[in-house]
Every structure is written in structure tokens, then in C-alpha cells.
Amino acid sequence: MAIIIVGVLIAGSIYFSSIRRSDTALLNQPSERDNANLENIRAISETDHIRGNIDAPVKIVEYSDTECPFCKMFHTTMKRVIEEYGGDRVAWIYRHSPIDSLHPKARKEAMATECANELGGNEKFWMYLDRIYDLTPSNNGLDPAELPKIAEYVGLNVTDFNSCLDSGIYAERIEEDLQNANATGGKGTPWSIIIAKNGEKYPINGAEPYETVRQMIDFSLQ
């Protein structure tokens, strides 16, 4: 009996120690990254592409490349976040960060999503973006001929869409997103920043799995 009790005590000690280490790891994040870089994040505004409530206590700003395979994975994770937490608790802000050297098609795809937004607003932006991630095999694999087909699929006027896409009107906006990603310390995609309820900022490097993101959100909601 004594041996069993000792074993239980040791197991409990290990369990609670692991919890403390997990909490400590989250608490220590601000001192383990360059806080000054994260403070360079552009202020969130109504001009951003937002899934959820702009006034949600936790916001996740994602800088992404539609042809990046890890971004495709993380897109699924973030959709699950919104489903699980609801847009009133967590807002997802999507910004562009095309890596031209690896995915030269991504910048035009980013332009296509902006045209979808122009023609159909925020709802069509997200529908178009979701469809790109559904269809692309990643690594520069989406046929550009699919872009107007996606526009038709989500209910946009294809003639107007093609005119917008050919104009290149949103090139500056996409470049501003990319430069802001770089300014905040992003060195690849996806690069995301959680803005916690208390205003603190925490980085999400790469396509972290849902459970990791969930733990960071729960901590950020405190």
C-alpha cells in the first residue's frame, strides 16, 4: 500500500509539474522573442479581411502564401479555431505574404482574393480564399485558369473579376502586407501573431497544430 501511495504521489507531482512547465513556457514567450518586432504589426482596421468580430478579445493575424503547403494546413487549423471558439471570442485576420522565389503564382492569387473582396465584400473574399486552398495542390501547383472559375463558383461576375485581376490595382496593398510581415519578424509562411485579451502579442511560427494553437488562445483569453 505504501508503495502504491508513493507511486501516486510521484505521478501527481510529474503531472502538475508538466502543467507548470507548459504555463511557464507560454508566460516566457515575450522574453524569448524580439518584442520590438511584433510591435511593428499594422493596426487592425475595418479594411482588413476579418473572420469574426473585430472586437473579439483575442485576435490572430496571419500572414500567408496561398501556394505554401504549410499555409494550406494552417488554414484548416484556423477554420477549426473559428468553428470551436466562435467569431466573438477569436477574430482571424488574413494578410498576404507571397514568397515569389518559391511560389511565383501566389501573388496573382492574392490579387484574385482582393478582386473577390472588391466585387463581393468580406464574405466573398473568404469564400474565394477557402476555395483556393481547397483546390491548390500547393507548391505553385494551381493552374491560373482556375482563378476565374473560382470567381464563378463563389458567385462573382467573371467579366468584372477578370478586369480587376488584369488591372493589378491591388499590387500595392499586397506588397504592404508582405513588408509588414517582414517588419514583424516573419521569415516564412505561415507567420501569425496572437494579440491577447490584455494586449500582449505572441508569435505562431509555421503551421502549428490545432492543439498548440488552442493552448495559446486559452492562455490569451485569460
Q: Are residues 45 and 142 in the same domain?
A: yes
Q: Are residues 117 and 172 in the same domain?
A: yes
pLDDT digits 0-9 by tens, 37-85: 999 999 999 999 999 999 999 999 999 999 999 999 999 999 999 999 9
Position of cell 490584455?
Answer: 198
Residues 6+ away with beta carbon under 8 Å from 216? 26, 194, 202, 204, 208
Percent of the chain at pLDDT > 90 equals 83
* Residue-level pLDDT at 36: 76
- Distance between CA atoms of 24 and 142, rounded to whole angstroms? 42
- Tell me how many domains the chain contains: 2
pLDDT digits 0-9 by tens, 145-167: 999 999 999 999 999 999 999 99
- Distance between CA atoms of 22 and 185, rounded to whole angstroms? 24
Reported residue count of the chain is 222
Indicate the pTM of the whole model: 0.85
Q: Are residues 122 and 55 in the same domain?
A: yes
Q: Are residues 24 and 56 in the same domain?
A: no
Q: Are residues 210 and 183 in the same domain?
A: yes
- Distance between CA atoms of 108 and 146, rounded to whole angstroms? 12
Q: Are residues 27 and 101 in the same domain?
A: no
Q: Kind of pairing, strands 58-64 and 49-51?
A: unpaired
Q: Are residues 26 and 45 in the same domain?
A: no
Q: Are residues 23 and 105 in the same domain?
A: no
Q: Are residues 47 and 146 in the same domain?
A: yes
Q: Are residues 155 and 207 in the same domain?
A: yes
Q: Are residues 25 and 110 in the same domain?
A: no
* Domain with 21 in it: 1-32
Q: Amino acid identity, residue 103?
A: H
Position of cell 482596421?
Answer: 45
Q: Amino acid identity, residue 161?
A: F
- CA distances for 65 relative to 79, 97, 101, 183, angstroms: 16, 5, 12, 17
Looking up residue 107, the CATH number of its domain turns out to be 3.40.30.10
pLDDT at 215 over 80: yes
- Distance between CA atoms of 115 and 121, rounded to whole angstroms? 9
Q: Are residues 59 and 97 in the same domain?
A: yes
User: Is the bond into 137 cis (omega within 30 degrees of 0)?
Assistant: no
